[in-house]
Chains A and B, each alone.
Chain A
Amino acid sequence: MGAGWSYTARRLLGAVLVLIGVTIATFLLLHAAPGNPAEQVLGQRATPAQLHALEHQWGLDASLPSQFWRYAQQVVHGDLGTSFVYGKSVTSLVGPRVGQTALLVAVAVIFAILITVPLAALAASRRDSFADQAVRGFSVLGLGLPSFWFGIVLIEIFAVNLKLLPVGGYGTGFGGHLESLILPGVTAALAIVPLLIRSLRVGMLEVLDADFVAAARGNGLRESRVLFVHVARNAAVPTVTLLGLNIAYLLGSTVIVENVFALNGVGSLLLQAIQNRDFPTVQGITLLLAVAVVIVNLITDLLAARLDPRIRLR
């Protein structure tokens, strides 16, 4: 138990350091990038006096260290600041969008699993067959193609031609949300599926050579049972770890996927905020995403340990 607690403490400390690092890096990058938020809001006719007045109101005329110190104090108190563009608190802007993005990520993870497991099992069970080659070819192709392209193709097929699903937007009601998230979910999932398939396939191949698999087969178990119960479970550990690591990547890809599908989630807000140099909003969202990634990684580690007791949390 003692070892577990010190592990948790170390992980938490690490998480806090990561968040501080992300906060500092975002702050510095934003201030180093050319482009003036006051210019963006006031337009080309703004006089220097108007620009200064607005910069003063936003506290942008203070020194960088003092700006950062003030921001850090706010964040510690749970205040992410006020958007330059909307004049509303960043939490009130981001809050209503978190659900949309979280649901998108959840749907994407489900699709990722639904696509990965059968394909990896197929490839592993018929090693070097045509099916195996096809799955591996699909993975390589998938890695090379941008996800927005998949998105547009899916829209063309399922929304425009077959008219089965909405072109974009978030629908109304929970059913409407889910329906609207099918295409974006698949699109986002496809961004990480190739990696997952490769990992699970390799894992399964290793396990297939293990003695207990031979024993299971020897006991007359059906091949499908051997594959999905005994092999898949043991091969799952590296895949779950990989999935956890890729949640960060998935969150990043929501920025693009949300745009392609007209979802007004956290990702699309981040993109707008960057274009508008809306510093507080960019900083707030970046921090939230960092928190999400840290938490998911922590959960992944714990889950991996649960799946495979041989993994020690040190």
Chain B
Amino acid sequence: MDTNLDPERLCLIIPHFSRADVDRKLALMPYRLSELTRRDLLIRGGEGGAAVFGLSALLAACGGSSSKSSSSSSSSSVSSSTGAASGTPKKGGDLVFARSVAPTTLDPANTIIAGDIYTLNQIFEPLFITNPDGTLALWLAKSFTTSKDHLTWTFDLRPGVKFSDGKPLTADDVVFSIKREAANSVGPLSFLDFAIKSVTAQGSSTVVMKLKTPWAPFESDMSVFANAILPANFGGKSEKAFFQSPVGTGPFTLSSWTPDSNLTLKPNPSYWQTGKPYVDSVTINYVTDDNQRVLQVTSGQAQIADSVPPANVSQLKSNGAVNVSEFPAWQVDLLVFNEQVAYFKDVHVRRAITYAINRPGLVQAASFGTSKPGGSFFPPSLEYYDAGTPVLAYSVANAKSELAKSAYPHGFSTKLLVSGGDQTYAEFAQIIQADLAKIGIKVSITTLDHAAFETTFQKYDYDMFIDYAINDISDPDEMASFETDYKSGGSKSYWSSYDNPAVISLVHQAEAEFDTTKRKQLYAKIQAQVAQDAPFVALDYPPYIYATSKKVNGFAVNPGGAYRLADVWLD
């Protein structure tokens, strides 16, 4: 079966869309190094975020590069928003990016940190990437086929791709890179490669991967940054030396780097997409202060700032010098119940609390309307999200009658754990406290700094906590299993201890189901059952919020939080 969308082909079908505007997805699971990783990156393109990258940029991109398209099917329709075209891409200029996350390493296999991921993916590329709309696209792979039993996957590499040292991409490089990640015992995302049995080269441009089990998310797994392609044997260098001056197939190479301070990229002269990148250099400055990042863009000192605080969005939108963009994320903020605690073992208590929380009100008050109120535990940007999920919508009356059915009809006192330093979560906690007081549940809030917070809930030392869950890849299995598969998901259902064998069985069925219609039904069932069991409350779906100078064109962020700076050009 030959599945997938070749960006080249998309260019032909939908003029608006270009291979280049496609971004790979990579996110950073719910794991962050500090407060300054994932959550703070939430962004999105205000008035037509995706539209920011211009039509002509896309057309130019489409016209500008060679290579054949491959057949594609399945996977998702490409929803392209209408682009506010803004002229032909211009070459030149130095792009300065004020970013809340700093890189610590450029080794794709050994990181889960946003600052690393969003930097190294300017240098390295995987076989597939994720478009800004969340769909997958062939990237270093030109096409692929799978055997009838779905156990043998054959990838043909895109011709004409070179590393930044001028050497051509070969099958050996892919074999080396995938094997390295799959065997990486301390790789934060190496679990995504668990299904791989063998990886072999067939000639110089074909790679064959054999799987242990039919694994539907596999092509999506191949798109994760951790599976990016490096030169075989690090091009003869030591691993350490290689990552000091990395060589990849991506649009940029490392120019200079002062850890925890700034990093400069320069164009890769051998880049396979002729004409890109447009800018002469990219400087990524590490700026932790929210206010400072925004001011650097409004004052012209930087052209892009990430993690704009929701409170600043409306004010910035009235500033003539900047665009504010909100990009949908594969993220959901959750209120998690600890089922090891007697109150929360009782499904009626969990349901009552879900009914009691006014999610539309919470979104207005705490996110200033930037995020969408929660329903399903899948975010709407995720594939197989079911808008028809029967959620327990806000209703104090329902909450009261549900609590009356529980073993604690008159309420009880409990604790809510939150991570400090996150204003939005602090406000969520207060709103939840007030909402639950209305049904007789008295909540006291405990705030810990992020590292302490994580250690605490991962020891199950909590009653309820607020955190976010993220998908790193376009396939929803990662989120489904991490949050509901008590036995083998890796986190006892996001530390809730929720264990519904029926749901677990559906998750496993979906993993092996290649028929997209059937898969969709399975995920709809999972979302419906989880909504009724209420192991956690989906509070909201926050976007990634970026501020960019009006001079910036072609900047887009995919739901995994990644962006391709090769597509950015400056007026």
Contact = CB atoms under 8 A, between A and B. Distances in A.
Interface of A: 33-37, 39-47, 49-50, 53-54, 85-88, 93, 96-97, 152, 155, 159-160, 163, 166-169, 259-262, 264, 268-269, 271-272, 275-277
B28 A36 contact: no
A44 B260 contact: no
Given A86-B104, A167-B296, A264-B258, A35 B28 contact: no
Nearest to A47: B490
Interface in B128-178: none
Contact of B451 (A40, A261, A269): A40
B298 interface: yes
A45 B33 contact: no
Nearest to A33: B452
Contacts of A50: 185-186
B191 A45 contact: yes
A42 B188 contact: yes
Contacts of B285: 169, 262
A79 to B, nearest CB: 18
A91 B296 CA distance: 30
B199 interface: no
A159 B295 contact: yes
A275 B491 contact: no
Given A160-B298, A168-B287, A275-B449, A88 B259 contact: yes
Interface string B295-329: 11011010000000000000000000000000000
Given A47-B490, A264-B262, A168 B191 contact: no
A260 B31 contact: no
A53 B285 CA distance: 33
A87 B298 CA distance: 35
Interface stretch (B44-52, B369-377, B454-462): B454-462
Contacts of A264: 258, 260-262, 286
A259 B259 contact: no
Contact of A262 (B30, B258, B296, B456): B296
A93 to B, nearest CB: 6
12 contacts: A36-B451, A41-B33, A45-B191, A45-B482, A45-B491, A50-B185, A86-B260, A93-B259, A155-B295, A160-B298, A168-B295, A262-B98
Given A54-B186, A88-B259, A34 B448 contact: yes
A96 B298 CA distance: 29
A168 B451 contact: no
Nearest to B470: A44
Contacts of B288: 259, 262, 268, 271-272
Nearest to A264: B261
Contacts of A93: 259-260
Nearest to A265: B261
A42 B296 contact: no
A280 to B, nearest CB: 14
A173 B541 CA distance: 44
Interface in B19-49: 28-36
A169 B296 contact: yes
A260 B292 contact: yes
Given A34-B448, A259-B289, 8 more contacts: A39-B455, A45-B188, A87-B105, A167-B301, A169-B285, A262-B288, A262-B292, A275-B449
Interface string B265-297: 000000000000000000001111101110110
A277 B287 contact: no
A160 B296 contact: no
A269 B452 CA distance: 19
A93 B259 CA distance: 7
A229 to B, nearest CB: 43
A264 B285 CA distance: 9
A270 to B, nearest CB: 11
A268 B186 CA distance: 29
Contacts of A155: 291-292, 295
A155 B98 CA distance: 17
Given A35-B452, A166-B301, A44 B287 contact: no
B189 interface: yes
B403 interface: no
Nearest to B102: A272
B34 to A, nearest CB: 4
Contacts of A96: 258, 261
Given A168-B287, A272-B34, A39 B458 contact: yes
A34 B451 contact: yes
Contact of A34 (B33, B261, B456, B482): B456
A86 B295 contact: no
A34 B98 CA distance: 31
Nearest to B105: A87
Nearest to B294: A167
A53 B34 contact: no
B11 interface: no
A45 B292 contact: no
B334 to A, nearest CB: 13
B34 A40 contact: yes
B194 to A, nearest CB: 12
B491 A44 contact: yes
Nearest to B188: A43
A16 to B, nearest CB: 30
A35 B296 contact: no
A260 B105 CA distance: 25
Contacts of A42: 31, 112, 186, 188
Given A39-B458, A163-B299, A34 B452 contact: yes
Given A36-B451, A264-B286, A46 B33 contact: no
A167 B98 CA distance: 12
Nearest to B287: A262
Contacts of A40: 33-34, 451, 454
Contacts of A260: 289, 291-292
Nearest to A269: B260
Given A93-B260, A169-B296, A45 B35 contact: no
Given A35-B455, A39-B455, A44 B29 contact: yes
Contacts of B28: 43
A85 B287 CA distance: 18
B210 interface: no
B20 to A, nearest CB: 30
Contacts of B179: none
Contacts of B455: 34-36, 39
B295 A167 contact: yes
Contact of B29 (A43, A49, A86, A168): A43
Contacts of B189: 45
A261 B301 CA distance: 13
B520 interface: no
Contacts of A168: 287, 289, 292, 295-296, 301
Query: Among the interface residues A34, A259, A268, which one has the most CB atoms of the partner chain B within 10 A?
Result: A34
A-B CB proximity, top 10 nearest: A43-B31, A35-B451, A43-B112, A264-B261, A34-B452, A275-B34, A262-B287, A35-B452, A167-B295, A43-B188
